[in-house]
């Protein structure tokens, strides 16, 4: 029970911190850029919506900081993130929900894939300590984990799209294809996702490999692994249920901790590929000085990271009986 | 052995002995020199540092001057071509190094300082302060920093060097703080801190002078991690145009290259080389970080023994046991470990025999090779003990198992001999129920049905007086005594011929210890298996074992019938051991410890290994004594070379 309470406190605190940061940043920045933005809204949206934006950015409010803060919290809780300037008159929430499936599909799937692949490779490489795999992979991945995502994306475009012409250069789908649930459209989406997905995969898998390898090596020195050997279990059984299952537990925590890094890289990959997801839209909103959209997306990214951490928590609880016990 | 000696490197010829806890400095330098990844990392870092310090001397041109023909390819004059504005790419790269280095070191320093302050004080203060600080750390850890910096940069229109350093530094400390906190927590109860507290040192003094120096490697790792992510994030931010577009940096170069479609327009190197630089500098930090991980966690380093001299023992000795009564015969068993200072012989030519149904106790101080002996007999050497059998043979049930393949060995394991370890908490798999761990063993060695397995599991639990309901329990749900019993039950699943026990009761309190030992003894009589039993506790040996083997410094110093050894100990070491333990039934005598400590097995004394601590030591002890037979008892001491029992021994008896 204590575990659950602590995690809930953590989620609430993180969410609250992100919302508060959102509230404070426009107010702390000198020469408030949002004033200019609001000027462009005037007369185009109804007074109530304008007022909500004014609260969000701390302009023209006769409210004190504290009451403005609570109005803002109230708006966020009710899902009112304001109106997007770029996609006027659509609400921010509407735009965010449009971009979200693309990001979930690309970044979400590749992150899960990278985690699974990295965990498996790390486990095997530690199990075959000093073998071929173990001799080659760790040094390589130490280096690739230091690659800037966006730079690798540029290289991939240059090589596979421009030089070889195998795959499309950018976008989420070909504008000439009909957007519908048809096989041609799905195939087109997959074709467009290969390069960005491969980029994210290549740069993020190394981190999981290294941590899983190191965890496994520590676990292999544990008494229960020695005991499993003494019992004469098959190597397969020892590797999975004795070494692997224990080594993955800290890796799940590591997953939660490295996620911010992956998301940051993914934003840049979407930017480089003009991929119509949250990251691309986020940077578009920065370029268009669409602050309402930008801040809505920032919150969305934070929530996405929290959801992934929650998933890791649940997986930990399933795999580790010690966390299940309400102690 | 991969001992690399680099001559002339500062510190590399420092003293080989590690200073207990403070002196990480010299060891650290030594370790870096030995680690290839660290060397490459240092070389890359030094390279970029030189570029950053002396760009004016090194760069062929001014990086910003638009003085050349735009869009030139690679040539002798322009190694990496020119930009679309007619700047020399190589010069731009060299001038751009400075900013990345400044960001890396400034952010690394700032983040590490915060991490140390937050992490150490959270752990040291504990209570509410710890709760709050840990929560803040966790929250900062998951707030997506990069998007946040983008938001801030968007309001400021651009993020200059100063903004980058402050924001990255203020947000990049949480990972390090977490690690430092848990490290401090594990240090908190260590002796040296307790003693500092007892001395009445102030908290701040303890933190600064006692705790922080022990965490050098973690602090360095925290610095490297923050530096790595600062370099990558800064480049990313500049690349999307949120940095200062007039600054000289790799990220800004990439921004302009991308804006001019350098990749499509045949100015490929303009777009590639800044990324290569970012990647190389990043790799330098990542490699160093990884190497430090290896240095601070020795388990990650792979050590290999020099191949042992080819064993020709198979032709030398017959396989059959000398007596059909013996379940186990060990002859000349020698085990070596690798260390940074060469091989260490942890078991040196040990001979021993165990008869069917016999209870053999092995005693000796810590570090005398008792556990190594057990794990080499059971062929369980491996991490964390990187030991290897380099000589001798182990004949078990008529088979030579020291050289048996792992596959054949598996068939004998658990059916014919099983193992009980010191702490069941560590020896039972924490994520499987007791039932699952019993089922594992049964499935590996039999074709028993699920029902048969369940029945047998219940049966063995009852043998050790545990309610079978606990089959469904996980190890952490049982009490210490129950866990230990459950492990013994597991060892009896197939009623093996030999059960090897490594201090099976030392984790328990005295009362639980006694009752468990009595139960083991009872089961042994009933089921007839032989036991090899390692312990520190002389009184347990006295009451339960048939024969005693006393080990000192990797060798057998005495081996004989329990009664004889306890009543008439021959070896001065055995006598010293007995004097160091209280006797329950005997008269009250003053307990005497044994002055000194067992020798370093890497460089044992030349003659008798106990001589430096022995009250009877004479000049004759300079020559290594051999094992002598005195009235059926074996003893390794020159006192008995004339096969006569000296007065001292008789006086005590």
pLDDT tens per residue, range A225-257: 999 999 989 888 999 999 999 999 888 877 877
- Asked whether the beta carbons of B163 and B153 are under 8 A apart, the reply is yes
Tell me which chain B residues have a C-beta less than 8 angstroms from the C-beta of A231.
413-414, 418, 440-441, 444, 490
Question: Which one of A86, A169, A264, A277 makes the best mutation probe of the B interface by having the most chain B beta carbons within 10 Å?
Answer: A264
Comparing A12-26, B8-22, B373-387, which segment has the lowest mean pLDDT? B8-22
Question: Rounded to the nearest 5 degrees, what angle is found at the Cα of B138, between the Cα atoms of A123 and B119?
Answer: 95
Chain B positions touching A160 (Cβ under 8 A) are: none
**DSSP-derived 3-state class of residue B547:** strand
For A:288-307, CB contacts with B below 8 A are: 289, 291, 294-295, 297-298, 301-302, 305-306
| pLDDT averaged over every residue in chain B | 80
Cα distance between residue A100 and residue A110, in whole Å = 15
Q: What is the pLDDT of residue A263?
A: 80
Tens-digit pLDDT profile for residues B242-273? 877 778 888 888 888 888 777 777 777 788 88
pLDDT at B317: 46
**Amino acid B306: pLDDT:** 47
Residue of B nearest to A217 (CA): B300
Q: Residue B24: which pLDDT band, with cuts at 50, 70 and 90?
A: low
Strand (E) or helix (H) holding B32: helix B24-34
Predicted local confidence at residue B529, as pLDDT: 92
Confidence of residue A42 (pLDDT cuts 50, 70, 90): low
CB proximity under 8 Å: A 127-166 to B: 129-130, 138-139, 142-143, 145-152, 154-155, 157-158, 162
Percent composition of chain A: helix, strand, coil (DSSP 3-state, to 5): 75, 0, 20
The pLDDT tens digits of the residues spanning B103-125 come to 999 999 999 999 998 988 888 77
Residues 6+ apart with CB under 8 A from B82: B68, B69, B70, B71, B72, B88, B89, B267, B270
pLDDT of residue B23: 45
Query: Which of B177, B232, B272 to probe by mutation at the A interface, max A CB count within 10 Å?
Result: B232
| Max avg pLDDT among A152-166, A216-230, B242-256, B296-310 | A216-230
A232/B444 CB distance under 8 A:
yes
Give which of B166, B292, B168, B136 is closest to B236, Cα–Cα.
Answer: B168
**Backbone dihedral region of B548: left (phi > 0), alpha (psi from -120 to 50 degrees) or beta?**
beta
Tokens of B603: 């460089």
Q: What is the mean pLDDT of residues B215-239?
A: 86
The Cα B26–Cα B16 span in angstroms is 9
Cβ–Cβ < 8 Å for B89, B277: no
C-alpha distances (whole Å) from B354 to each of A12, A238, B328, B329 are: 63, 30, 5, 6
Closest of A12, A90, A92, A99 to residue A56, by C-alpha: A92
A-chain residues near B278 (CB < 8 A): 148, 151
Question: CA of B174: which chain A residue's CA is closest?
Answer: A257
Residues 71-110 of chain A with CB under 8 A from chain B are: none
Q: How many CB atoms lie within 10 A of CB B319?
A: 11
CB B261 within 8 A of CB A161: no
User: Domain segments of chain B: what residues?
Assistant: 32-62+77-297
Q: What is the ipTM of this complex?
A: 0.85
Q: Is residue A309 within 8 angstroms of chain B, CB to CB? A: yes
SS3 B79: coil
> Burial code of A121-148, b = ≥16 C-beta within 10 A, e = fewer?
bbbbbbbebeeebbeebbeebbbbbbbb
pLDDT at A45 over 70: no
Residue B436 has pLDDT above 90, yes or no: yes
**What pLDDT score does B17 carry?**
31
**B440 in A contact zone (CB under 8 Å):** yes
Res A37: pLDDT: 64
Tell me: pLDDT of B438 over 80.
Answer: yes
Share of chain B above pLDDT 90, in %: 18
For residue B392, the surrounding DSSP H or E stretch is: strand B388-396
pLDDT of residue B5: 30
Reported as a single tens digit per residue, the pLDDT across B319-358 is: 555 677 789 999 999 998 877 777 888 888 899 899 999 9
Whose CA is closest to B152, among B233, B259, B248?
B233
Q: State yes or no: pLDDT of B548 exceeds 90.
A: yes
From chain B residues 356-415, the ones with a CB under 8 A of any chain A CB are 375, 378, 380, 382-384, 409-415
- Cα-based angle A173, A176, A177 (whole degrees, multiple of 5): 60
With an 8 Å Cβ cutoff, are B147 and A301 in contact?
A: yes
Q: Of A51-60, A101-110, B167-176, B601-610, which range is least confident?
A: A51-60
Query: Residue B648 pLDDT more than 50?
Result: no
pLDDT at B501: 92
CA A49 to chain centre: 30
- Res B20: pLDDT: 36
User: Which residue in chain B is spatially nearest to A271 when comparing CA positions?
Assistant: B240
- Does the distance separating the beta carbons of A232 and B445 come in below 8 Å? yes
User: Which residue has better confidence, A3 or B501?
Assistant: B501
Q: Across the interface, which of A13, A147, A289 has its CB nearest the CB of B135? A: A13
pLDDT digits (tens, 9 = 90+) for B25-34: 666 677 777 7
pLDDT value at position B362? Answer: 93
Residue-level pLDDT at A38 = 66
Kindly list the structural domains of chain A, giving each domain's residue range(s) and its CATH number in brackets, ordered by start: 101-286 (1.10.3720.10)
Query: Of the given ranges (A56-70, B258-272, B281-295), which has the lowest mean pLDDT?
Result: A56-70
Q: Which residue has better confidence, A132 or A237?
A: A237
Q: Give the residue from chain A lying closest to B436, CA to CA.
A: A241
pLDDT of residue B418: 93
Q: Which of A9-13, A73-77, B528-532 has the lowest mean pLDDT?
A: A73-77
B384 neighbourhood in chain A, CB within 8 Å:
221
Distance of alpha carbon B276 from its chain centroid, rounded?
36
- Cis bond upstream, residue B451 (ω within 30): no
pLDDT of residue B10: 33
How many whole angstroms from its chain centre is CA B77?
Answer: 53
- φ/ψ of A156, rounded to 5, equals -65, -45
pLDDT score at A32: 57
- In angstroms, the CA B384 to CA A220 distance is 8
Confidence of residue B493 (pLDDT cuts 50, 70, 90): very high
pLDDT digits (tens, 9 = 90+) for B573-587: 888 888 877 665 555
Give how far B147 is from chain A: nearest CA, Å.
Answer: 6
Return the CATH number of the domain spanning residue range B32-62+77-297: 1.10.3720.10
Check residue B355 and give its pLDDT: 92
CB of B240 within 8 Å of any CB in chain A?
yes
Give the per-residue pLDDT at B500: 93
What does the pLDDT average to over B375-386? 78
CB proximity B259 to A under 8 Å: no
B447 vs A188, more confident: B447
């Amino acid at each position: 029970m204590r575990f659950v309470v602590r995690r809930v406190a953590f989620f609430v605190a993180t969410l609250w911190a992100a919302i508060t940061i959102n509230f404070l940043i426009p107010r702390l920045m000198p020469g408030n850029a949002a004033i200019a933005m609001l000027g462009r809204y005037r007369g185009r949206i109804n007074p109530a919506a304008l007022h909500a934006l004014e609260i969000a950015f701390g302009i023209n409010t006769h409210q004190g900081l504290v009451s403005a803060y609570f109005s803002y919290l109230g708006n966020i809780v009710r899902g009112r993130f304001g109106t997007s300037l770029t996609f006027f008159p659509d609400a921010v929430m509407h735009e965010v929900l449009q971009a979200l499936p693309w990001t979930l599909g690309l970044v979400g799937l590749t992150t899960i894939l990278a985690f699974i692949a990295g965990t498996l490779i790390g486990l095997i490489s530690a199990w075959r300590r000093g073998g071929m795999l173990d001799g080659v992979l760790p040094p390589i991945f130490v280096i690739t984990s230091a690659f800037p995502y966006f730079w690798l994306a540029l290289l991939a475009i240059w090589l596979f799209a421009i030089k070889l012409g195998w795959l499309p250069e950018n976008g989420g789908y070909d504008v000439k294809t009909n957007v519908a649930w048809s096989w041609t459209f799905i195939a087109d989406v997959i074709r467009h996702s290969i390069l960005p997905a491969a980029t994210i995969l290549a740069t993020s898998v190394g981190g999981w490999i290294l941590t899983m390898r190191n965890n496994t090596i520590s676990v292999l020195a544990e008494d229960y692994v020695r005991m499993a050997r003494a019992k004469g279990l098959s190597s397969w059984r020892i590797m999975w249920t004795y070494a692997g299952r224990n080594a993955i537990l800290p890796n799940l925590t590591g997953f939660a901790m490295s996620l911010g890094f992956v998301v940051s890289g993914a934003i840049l990959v979407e930017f480089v590929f003009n991929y119509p997801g949250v990251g691309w839209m986020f940077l578009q909103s920065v370029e268009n000085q669409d602050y309402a959209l930008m801040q809505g997306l920032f919150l969305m990214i934070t929530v996405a990271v929290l959801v992934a951490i929650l998933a890791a928590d649940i997986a930990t609880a399933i795999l580790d009986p010690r966390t299940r016990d309400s102690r | 052995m991969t001992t690399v000696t680099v001559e002339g490197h500062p510190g590399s010829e420092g003293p080989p002995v590690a200073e207990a806890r403070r002196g990480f400095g010299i060891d650290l330098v030594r370790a870096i020199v030995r680690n290839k990844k660290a060397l490459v990392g240092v070389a890359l870092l030094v390279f970029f540092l030189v570029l950053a310090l002396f760009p004016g001397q090194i760069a062929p041109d001014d990086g910003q001057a638009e003085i050349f023909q735009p869009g030139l390819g690679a040539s002798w004059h322009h190694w990496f071509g020119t930009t679309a504005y007619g700047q020399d790419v190589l010069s731009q790269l060299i001038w751009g190094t400075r900013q990345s280095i400044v960001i890396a070191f400034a952010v690394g320093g700032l983040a590490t300082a915060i991490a140390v302050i937050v992490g150490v004080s959270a752990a040291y203060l504990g209570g509410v302060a710890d709760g709050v600080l840990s929560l803040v750390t966790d929250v900062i850890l998951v707030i997506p920093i990069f998007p946040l910096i983008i938001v801030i940069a968007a309001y400021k229109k651009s993020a200059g060097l100063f903004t980058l350093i402050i924001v990255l530094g203020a947000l990049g400390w949480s990972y390090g703080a977490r690690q430092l906190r848990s490290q401090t927590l594990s240090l908190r109860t260590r002796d040296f801190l307790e003693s500092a507290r007892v001395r009445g040192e102030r908290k701040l003094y303890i933190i600064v002078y006692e705790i922080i120096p022990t965490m050098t490697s973690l602090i360095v790792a925290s610095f490297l991690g923050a530096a790595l992510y600062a370099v990558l994030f800064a480049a990313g931010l500049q690349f999307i145009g949120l940095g200062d577009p007039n600054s000289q940096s790799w990220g800004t170069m990439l921004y302009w290259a991308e804006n001019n479609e350098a990749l499509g327009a045949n100015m490929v190197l303009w777009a590639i080389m800044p990324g290569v630089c970012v990647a190389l500098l990043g790799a330098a930090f990542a490699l160093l970080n990884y190497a430090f991980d290896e240095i601070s966690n020795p388990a990650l380093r792979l050590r290999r023994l020099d191949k042992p001299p080819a064993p020709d023992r198979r032709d030398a000795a017959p396989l059959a046991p000398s007596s059909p009564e013996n379940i186990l015969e060990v002859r000349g068993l020698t085990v070596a470990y690798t260390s940074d200072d060469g091989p260490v012989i942890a078991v040196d030519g040990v001979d021993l025999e165990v008869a069917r149904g016999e209870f053999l106790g092995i005693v000796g101080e810590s570090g005398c090779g008792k556990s190594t002996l057990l794990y080499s007999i059971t062929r369980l050497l491996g991490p964390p003990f990187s030991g290897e059998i380099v000589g001798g043979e182990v004949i078990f049930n008529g088979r030579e198992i020291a050289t048996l393949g792992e596959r054949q060995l598996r068939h004998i394991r658990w059916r014919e001999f099983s193992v009980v370890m010191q702490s069941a908490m560590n020896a039972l798999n924490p994520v499987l129920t007791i039932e699952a761990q019993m089922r594992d063993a049964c499935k590996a060695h039999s074709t028993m049905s699920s029902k048969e397995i369940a029945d047998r599991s219940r049966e063995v639990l009852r043998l050790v007086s545990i309610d079978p309901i606990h089959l469904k329990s996980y190890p952490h749900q049982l009490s210490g005594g129950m866990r230990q019993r459950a492990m013994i039950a597991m060892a009896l699943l197939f009623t093996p011929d030999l059960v090897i026990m490594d201090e099976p009761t030392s984790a328990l309190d005295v009362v639980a210890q006694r009752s468990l030992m009595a139960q083991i003894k009872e089961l042994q009589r009933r089921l007839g298996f032989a036991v090899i039993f390692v312990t520190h506790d002389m009184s347990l040996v006295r009451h339960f074992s048939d024969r005693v083997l006393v080990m000192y410094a990797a060798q057998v110093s005495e081996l004989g019938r329990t009664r004889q050894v306890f009543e008439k100990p021959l070896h001065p070491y055995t006598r010293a051991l007995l004097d160091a333990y209280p006797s329950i039934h005997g008269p009250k005598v003053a307990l005497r410890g044994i002055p000194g400590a067992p020798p370093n097995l890497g460089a044992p004394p030349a003659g008798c290994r106990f001589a430096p601590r022995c009250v009877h030591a004479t000049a004759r002890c300079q020559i290594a004594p051999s094992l002598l037979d005195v009235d059926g008892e074996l003893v390794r001491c020159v006192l008995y070379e004339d096969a006569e029992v000296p007065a001292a021994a008789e006086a005590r008896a």
